[in-house]
Structure formats: C-alpha cells, structure tokens
Amino acid sequence: MYALTASGVRPYEIHIGSGLLERSGGVIRSATGCVSAVLVTDDMVGELYGDCVQKSLERAGCRAVRFTFPHGEESKNMETYARLLGFLAENRLTRSDAVIALGGGVAGDLAGFAAATFLRGMPLVQLPTTLLAAVDSSVGGKTAVDLPQGKNLAGAFHQPSLVLCDCDTLSTLSDDVFRDGCAEVIKYGVIGDQTFFHSLNKPVWKQCETVIARCVQMKSNIVSRDERDKGKRQLLNFGHTIGHAIEQCSHFSVSHGSAVAIGMAHMARAAYRMGFCDRSCAEELEALLQAYKLPTQTSFSPGELADAALSDKKRAGSQLALVVPKKIGHCILHRVAVEELESIFQKGARPL
C-alpha cells in the first residue's frame, strides 16, 4: 500500500492499496470527525460497493445515508446538483459532517461541488473506483457540474479531507473504461516524466498501485504550487482543450479518456508542424496511445472544435493557453489568440 500526503494550504492523506473500502469507515471518521455522512454514488457503483462503504461507516459509529443518481456524464448537471443539496438539507448535515464521493469522475465532481457550497463548505472524502478518477479527478480539489454551453462551467475549488483509492475496484471496470484512465496516465508521462512514460510499455494493469501513486504524486506536487489553476497547474490540461471540445460536439457520446487521447495526439502533431518538438515526439505518443487501443483522430472538423473551445475555462478574453509538448516529459504553456485555434487544430488533424 502507498500512503501519500498532498501538500498545500490544507494537506490531506491519499491511501492507495487493496481492501480499503471495507475498512474505510474508521479512516474517514479519523480524518473528518464526522458523525453523519452522505454517500454520493451512481446506480451502478452503488450496487457494487455502496453497502460495503455504508456498513463500514456504521461500524465506525457514523450515521450514513445514500444519494444515488443515474450513471453517466448526463447526470452531472445543475438539476442533479440541486437535488443533492436538497438531500443534504433534508438529512440535516452540518459542517462537521462529511460528503463522500464513491465512484468515478462524475460522482467526485458532483459530490465535491455540493460539499464546497452546502453551508459554505463541509468535509469531502473521495473514494475513486475508476482508474481515471484515481489518477486524476479525485486529487486536486476541482469540483464542477456541466452546463448546456460546456463542460465543468459551474464549480469550485474544494480540496478533499481524504482520498482512499481501493485498487480492487478496478477489477470490475470494462476494458473501455479502464482505457479511459490509461489516457490520463499517459498524459502524466508526457507533461513531466519521460522515464514514467517509457515504463508504460509494460501494461498499466500489471502495475496499478505504482502507476496510480506516481500520477497522484505528480499532480499533488503541481497543485500545491498552483491550487487555483493560474499557471503551472494548467499543464495538467494537456489534450483537454480539444478533448473537452470533442465531448461537447459529440454530446458526450465520446468518453473523456478517448477525447483526451485524441486531443493529445492532435496537439503533438500540431506542435511538430509548428516547430515546438521533433517528429519523434508525436510519433512516440501516438504509438503508445494506439498500443492502449485509444483513438488518435476525430471526425469533427477543426472549425467545429475551435468553436466549441471558446467555452474552455482557460480562455482569458481573446486568448487561450494551449499545452504544447517540447519533448516527451516536458510541456509548455503557449498562449494563442482564439482566432488561431482553427488553424492550429487543422495542423493537428492531418496524420503524420
């Protein structure tokens, strides 16, 4: 098992290992001091692990109630968020109680935003059950819901009090959901660790705990220096500007991991044609993505993607910061005028 501490304004522990859900109750009570807790999960994850976590909380002397929503990105909206706030109020949660997110990124984002805003903030615990949530969304304190105009447009920064990543839950993931997480894993290698990138030639599922621990450590180190996403933290968005645009254009029929994989491949190809990196950088990235059976192309046009990217949260007036690879293990932020996006996306759309 790995035990890490996320540093920052309010440090918190991150545990990565097996069998953590069964003994989660005592760890959660120790970290938060909660007397009551609301377990937020979707209908699929709740069926698999809801009883286990709820019983563990009750054994630890914590009153636990469950809020369940339909699985899928479509539930991450203002309507579900409002229902969750009402559920917290009906169950008389206080600032000394806890909101517990059990599931993937949707559960974590939704529960986190509710915890950040109910009673102006209460403790949040993340129990990620997907690889993507384990390596990325459960750590760092970004919480949000989607609006019709774009992804994650309503949200807040709210760091968790504890993250428990039970790697046993990854065994129930379908291949495509596991691959989604692999896209984010590959991202970490490109933005900051060439050695880690090359280690991924060994399948992620054979080294899950080690891979998750390395990604979490990289993210927590970055976030501790830029919690509010004003500078270096934006490197974590490699592939996400195009990725979020693809999700929006597809009405979320393209999964987050697949969209990010396409976005990374596009940006690497564009970076090569703009003179930021060698051809080998784009080729290595594309080869690894394909080895994990992740897509590298989209049917949406550069114009459609550029228009959707205008809703990107990183846009500052008429400029947008793109994450551009210089080489495997090193990326930079490159600010461009929004008028340039279609041309840049066109450079990335063409195969090598």
295-346: pLDDT as tens digits = 999 999 999 999 999 877 667 678 899 999 999 999 999 999 999 999 999 9
Place of tokens 């976590």: 53
Binning pLDDT at 50, 70 and 90, where does residue 8 land?
A: confident
Instruction: Residue 72: give its domain's CATH number.
Output: 3.40.50.1970
Q: Work out the mean pLDDT of the chain and round it to a whole number.
A: 95
Query: Rounded to the nearest 10 degrees, what angle do helices 256-273 and 341-349 cross at?
Result: 100
Q: Which two tokens stand for residue 303?
A: 């114009």
β partners of residue 30: none
CA distance 237 to 260: 9
68-127 pLDDT, tens digit per residue, is 999 999 999 999 999 999 999 999 999 999 999 999 999 999 999 999 999 999 999 999
Burial class from Cβ neighbours inside 10 Å (0-12, 13-18, 19+) for residue 235 reads buried
Give me the DSSP letters along 155-205. Answer: EEE---SEEEEEGGGGGGS-HHHHHHHHHHHHHHHHHH-HHHHHHTTS-GG
On the CB side of 13, how many CA atoms lie within 13 Å of its CA? 11
How far apart CA 321 and CA 153 sit, in angstroms, is 17
End-of-domain residue from the set 143, 172, 201 = 172
Tokens of 92: 């008389």
Single residue among 172, 194, 214 that ends a domain in this structure:
172
Q: Tokens 């495997």 — which residue?
A: 328
Task: Give me the number of domains the chain comprises.
Answer: 2
Same domain, 111 and 151: yes
SS3 of 279, please?
Answer: helix
**Gap between the Cα atoms of 11 and 14, Å rounded:** 10
- Give the span between the Cα atoms of 294 and 312, in whole angstroms: 23
Q: Are residues 213 and 312 in the same domain?
A: yes
pLDDT at 229: 84
pTM over 0.75: yes
Q: What is the pLDDT of residue 313?
A: 65
What is the tens place of the pLDDT at every residue in 125-138? 999 999 999 999 99
184, 187, 191, 195: CA torsion to nearest 10:
110
The angle at the Cα of 159, spanning 40 to 28, to the nearest 5 degrees, equals 55
First to last CA, the chain: 42
Query: Domain end: 157, 172, 187, which one?
Result: 172
pLDDT at 59: 97
Q: Are residues 154 and 219 in the same domain?
A: no
CA triple 59-139-12, angle to 5 deg: 60
Residues 285 and 344 in one domain: yes
Q: Are residues 118 and 212 in the same domain?
A: no
Query: Rounded distance, CA 180 to CA 236, Å?
Result: 16
Residue 98: predicted pLDDT: 98
Are both 162 and 181 inside the same structural domain? no
Higher pLDDT, 150 or 262: 262
In total, the chain counts a number of residues equal to 352
pLDDT digits (tens, 9 = 90+) for 153-163: 999 999 999 99
- Residues 6 or more apart whose CB falls under 8 angstroms from that of 228 comprise 157
What is the average per-residue pLDDT within 211-221?
95
Nearest to 340 by CA among 312, 298, 310, 313: 310
Question: How many CB atoms are closer than 10 A to CB 174?
Answer: 8
Q: Are 113 and 236 in a shared domain?
A: no
Residue 198 confidence (pLDDT): 98
- Distance in angstroms (rounded) separating the CA atoms of residues 184 and 187: 5
Cα atoms in the Cβ-side hemisphere of radius 13 Å centred on 198: 6
Range of the domain at 261: 176-349
DSSP 299: S
Q: Quick check: 254 and 350 in contact, CB under 8 A?
A: no
Looking at the fold, whether 158 and 268 belong to one and the same domain comes out as no
Please determine, for residue 190, whether its predicted confidence score (pLDDT) is greater than 90. yes
129 with 276, same domain: the answer is no
Residues 192, 313 within the same domain: yes
Residue 314's CB is within 10 A of a number of other CB atoms, namely 18
SS3 category, 98: strand
CATH number at residue 278: 1.20.1090.10
Same domain assignment for residues 238 and 343: yes
Say if residue 160 is in the same domain as residue 237.
no
Cα distance between residue 273 and residue 178, in whole Å: 31
User: What percent of the chain clears pLDDT 70, i.e. is strictly above it?
Assistant: 99
